[in-house]
Structure formats: C-alpha cells, structure tokens
Amino acid sequence: MDSPPTDRRGFLKRSVGLIGLAAAAEATPAHAQTQVMDDHHQATDGIIAYGERSKFVTSKRVPVPERHSPDDFGLTFHVNTPLQDALGIITPSSLFYVATHRGSFVPEIDPQTHRLMIHGMVDRPLIFTMDELRRLPYVTRVHFIECNGNRARASHVTVQDTHGLTSCAEWTGVPLSLLLKEAGVQSGASWIVAEGAEEVKGASSIPLGKALDDCLVAYGMNGEPLRPQQGFPLRLLVPGFEGIYQIKYLRRIKVVDRHYMTYDDYGHITNDPRAAALTEQIGPKSVITFPSGGQALQGRGVYEISGLAWSGGGAVKTVEVSVDGGSTWKTADLRSPAYPMAHTRFALSWTWDGRECVLMSRCTDANGTRQPTPAEVARYFNRPLGYRPPGTDNSIQPWRIASDGSVHNAIA
C-alpha cells in the first residue's frame, strides 16, 4: 500500500507552533525562566538512592509489644511486620519480621568461606561450598514463615501487634531432598538435625519425611541474596513449620535415627500431641488487615474488607468473613494465587451502615481444616475461654468497629 501524502500544511502549523513557543521563551523574563527550571530540578533532581521508598511511605517494623528492641545487648530482634500496610502477599525483605538470633550479634559470614556439611547416617558425607550449591538445580517458591510467639492478646492494639510475627517471601535455593539423595540416606534414619553458624549453635530436629518432601536450602529471597537478618548466606526453609525450624546461617545437617533435644527444641517440646501439632505444622489462619485495630472508617459507605490467610497444611481453599461477630458468614474473594504454605490475599466488598459491629475472618485449607474460634480452642483443650495453647495460636481475630468508625481489638 502506498504511503499517504505528507501533510505539509499540518507540518507548517506545527512548526509555527514550535517557533511561537521559542519566541515566548525568549520574551519571558530571565528570573521567570529560572523559576521554571528550578521547579523542574526540584521535581527530578532530588537524589533518592536506587531502591529506596518514597518519603510518603512510612511503613516500618516495630518491636513486639511484650519485648523491647534493641535489647539490653543492643541487638535488634523481635520486630513485627507492618501487616496493616501490606499490599499483595510478598513481604519486602526490609520489612520481614525478625524473631531472635542465637547469640549477641548477627553473624557476618563470608560466602566464599562458608560451607554446608551433610553427614551422619549417610553413605557419602558431603561438604558444599556456596559456589557448588549455586551450580545445582534450583527452584523458586513462595512460602510464609511464622514465629510461635505470633499470638494475639487483648492488650494488643494493631494487627502488627497481634500478627506481625509472620511474613511471606519468594525463596530460591536447592531442594534439600536433592542433597540428601546425593549423600545417600541409610536405612533406619528417621530425623535430621539442622544447625546454624550463630554464636550459640541454634539447631532443630526435623522429621526425615519432611526433609525429603519440600524443605529448601535457600540462598535467595525476593530476587536477591538473603539479607543478614534472614540468614545470609544460607538458611533452611521448612514450609508450614513454626519459625524456629527455619534455621538461619545453615552450616550442618546431620541425619540421625531419633529426635534430639537441641537448643531450639528446649521449651518447644510438650507431652500434649495436640499442642505439639500446632508447633510443627501451623494450623489454618487468617486475619483482617483492613479495617483493623488503630485504623478508622471515614463514614458510612462501601469498603473492601481485606486480609491475609495461610496454612501450614497446604494451600488456602476458602476464606469467610463475618460482619456480625460470627452469626453469619460470607465467602470472600481470593485476590492472589493460593500457593501451598504461603500467604493468600482475600477481600470482600461491604457496605457499612454506621452502626457498631464486629468483623472476623476464618480460613479453611486444602485439607478441609477450618480455623477455630477462641471458644473452640478453649473447648478443644478443655480450658476456660481465653486459653492460649503452647503451640502457635491460630484462633480467629475479631475487630470491633465503633459507631465513630474507629477500629479496636475485640478479644475478650
């Protein structure tokens, strides 16, 4: 097809327009031109280091209410993720919660000298450098981590207080099963003991079946190497298990034939198998992040109730929301992919009529297990209402909206 003829008249009009702009600029007083340029430079030449947030975004981690950070030794730990400000399901590395470190400092480890040893009941004890691990086939998965201390109390004000010891990230690394198969697990082995390189050697006993299933020896987090507070250069990911099993600064895995009482296991062992199950595998859990404690509704009207759901037993199947304190429930929309052992974003459109009400959410996972109410937890353990089991607390979190729109923790 022939090209259309050139629009000479249009070209001349545009040219005249440009000439007119240039003439106007010449006629503009010098101080006015300078002002225009100054405004431009203020808008574009403010130096912001690459990757830094806008000054208008102020989300930050805060200490767990019952603790103080930095602690008496100057160590920053037990800091909560700002779930109330979260968008989507991925927690930025700089906002990922930190529970504790085994010792008085965060280790500074040179990846060139770091080693991972696999030994014990194996045919071929192995020692890997970081370069050797990076040469192996890797995977990238999205998983949450949650601390056993993530338990709501009546004294908590915000969702950062009640649930801030959980975060979710994209992890990259080598499946532990690949390394164990390369070493050759011997008959009779039933557990592994994973150990980190911290000042006090934190270690956890993990069932061999779990180690061969979906555990990950991770060196990447959210598209970059692990950050020091998250275990640089290497950590163990045990999807769905409580945070203390996710060994940071991973340096040694020993294959054994029994459960070992390690530093990390002390205080986490209970004779009640019901409580133990809530530590090894976190039950289905959810929390409304908007509207939540400390926030406020700006008058009557339509709002999006939004929150996060997760389960150590697999993917989230459904999330239900109640706006009348649990008398009735509506199925929420899942606004993100429901990955196994990962945060899932949910939302429900709701019209507030200006009257006081109580909002709640409950999650059901792919196994059909549903998040319990605080009353159901108390009945299950045959304890009075308000009882919090020693395992991870996954009971429903209620938020009360007052008639003025303010939102408050509604735990009795």
Long-range pairs for 18-24: beta carbons < 8 A, 24 or more residues apart: none
Q: Kindly report the pTM of this predicted structure.
A: 0.83
pLDDT higher than 80, residue 314? yes
Same domain, 371 and 263: no
Res 18 pLDDT > 60: no
Q: Does any domain span residue 20?
A: no
Secondary structure element (H or E) that encloses residue 277, with its range? helix 273-280
Is there a single domain that holds both residue 96 and residue 165? Answer: yes
**Which tokens is 356 given?**
């006081």
Contact 287, 317 (CB under 8 A): no
Domain shared by 162 and 251, yes or no: yes
Asked, for residue 223, whether it belongs to a domain, the answer is yes
Question: What tokens were used for 240?
Answer: 């769905």
Query: Are 227 and 319 found together in one domain?
Result: no
Q: What is the pLDDT of residues 145-180, one digit of tens each?
A: 999 888 888 999 999 999 999 999 999 999 999 999
Q: What is the pLDDT of residue 37?
A: 32
157 shares a domain with 133? yes
Assess whether 225 and 291 both reside in one domain. no
Please report, for the domain that includes residue 373, its CATH number: 2.60.40.650
The answer to the question of residue 10 being in a domain is no
Is 9 within the bounds of a domain? no
Q: Is 188 left (phi over 0), alpha (psi -120 to 50) or beta?
A: left
What's the total number of domains in the chain?
Answer: 2
Rounded to an integer, the average pLDDT of 284-313 is: 97
Does residue 19 form part of some domain?
Answer: no
Asked if 200 and 305 sit in the same domain, the reply is no
The DSSP result for 188-250, as a single string, is T--EEEEEE-SSS--EEEEEHHHHTTT-EEEEEETTEEPPGGGTTT-EEE-TTS-GGGS-BSE
The tokens for 113 are: 């000298």
Would you say 210 and 312 are in contact if contact means Cβ atoms under 8 Å apart? no
Interacting residues of 409 by C-beta distance below 8 A, sequence separation 6+: 152, 154, 156, 157, 162, 293, 398, 399, 400
Band (361; pLDDT cuts 50, 70, 90): very high
Give the per-residue pLDDT at 392: 73
pLDDT in tens, 240-265: 998 989 999 999 999 999 988 776 66
Q: 177-197, pLDDT tens digit by residue?
A: 999 999 999 999 999 999 999
Q: What values do phi and psi take at 148, rounded to 5?
A: -60, -25
What's the mean pLDDT when you consider all of the chain?
A: 84
Residue 397 domain boundaries: 285-409
Shared domain check, 245 and 356: no
Residue 96 in domain: yes
